[in-house]
Amino acid sequence: MHNSFWKAGHTPTLFAAFLYFDLSFMVWYLLGPLAVQIATDLQLTTQQRGFMVATPILAGAFLRFIMGMLADRLSPKTAGIIGQVIVIGALLMAWKLGIHSYEQTLLLGVFLGMAGASFAVALPLASQWYPPQHQGKAMGIAGAGNSGTVIAALAAPLLAAAFGWSNVFGLALIPLVLTLVLFSLLARNAPNRAKAKSMADYLNALGDRDSWWFMFFYSVTFGGFIGLASALPGYFHDQYGLNPQTAGYYTAACVFAGSLMRPLGGALADRFGGIRALLGTYTIATLCIGAVGFHLSSSVAALALFVSAMLGLGAGNGAVFQLVPQRFAKEIGVMTGLVGMAGGIGGFLLTAGLGAIKQSTGDYQLALWLFASLGLIAWFGLYGVKRRWRTTWGSAAFSAARV
């Protein structure tokens, strides 16, 4: 990474955005690694377990839209502080009062969705400091907060085994409060922020068919990443009889691969072009998810395929957000909200769908193949629209996109 990158923006804000995003993702994802233990204690069905884990993803998808508007109207820093306080309050209540029913898990999931909405704050907070040639790196570093899911996948099952799963909510408060303090001290709003977006701006963006393509592309890459991350602890437990801690280790390996590749995906897109990078990621993810659908007898072979798929999906997340500022430079705030919301909806559908299909068919095969087919549709869709984009984006954008 060149020195020009570090001189171009505001490094403390970039670090604060990453840290806030990282810890928020850890909490957003918390019910996934705890799912097997919670489901056992509360006697939930596979479908209920899947829906419990999927609820924070769906809530986060819609709350991103609201948080994006708050970031526009107040400021990204103020919106970030409000979001963190709400999440800390919800976890404190869950810890003190306890979770005793399926309905209460869903209610907690809705509040944890506010942590998932951090996306709509962290990315604009960081990206507004950086010029176009460094957008891929800045968005990639801020977006590497996806790695918070690794912390949860590794630590949550172990802490639950040692202290009980309800106490995990209390233990999570320690890093969250520290992060809130650091974020308040380090983060600064960029001096040249775009004016607040109106509802008409969002509707206008939805009137452009390219926005729908980006929303679909991200619903596959990010939806695949967060959906699999949330569902894999249950999948490894159901499919291979792994205990929650071992399933957590397996999932952490997958999530680490996807998180690691997000910033690299942005950098690869800067180097080789976002469209070319994205086509490659869809190829890898589709082939690997399709192959794991054949139900390999070895859990290690399944793990290897899921890790490879997550490498592809993680790089795809970075590549999508390298392209968005090029296509929608003036509407980046609106598009970040819409595309991020679509990613969350994709994740919800994947997680809830895996649980529902497993419940109704007794098997995960159909769900995995349906997801692989979406990756195939995304590949052909991207290949098809890139020809039109050549003639509609203008030469400047395309020299950067390197189609």
pLDDT value at 314 more than 80: yes
Whether 23 shows a pLDDT value over 50: the answer reads: yes
pLDDT of 126: 83
Give the range among 3-7, 168-172, 299-303, 391-395 with minimum mean pLDDT: 391-395
Label residue 167 by pLDDT band (50, 70, 90): very high
Average pLDDT over residues 317-329: 83
Q: Is the pLDDT confidence value at 51 over 80?
A: yes
Instruction: Give the fold, CATH level 3, of 11-188+197-401.
Output: Growth Hormone; Chain: A; (1.20.1250)
Closest CA to 316 of 362, 381, 394, 262: 262
In the predicted structure, residue 211 carries a pLDDT above the cut 60: yes
Identify which has the larger pLDDT, 273 or 94: 94
* Segment among 78-82, 206-210, 220-224 with least mean pLDDT: 206-210
Whole-number average pLDDT of the chain: 88
Predicted TM-score (pTM) of the model is 0.86
pLDDT tier at 401 (50, 70, 90 boundaries)? very low
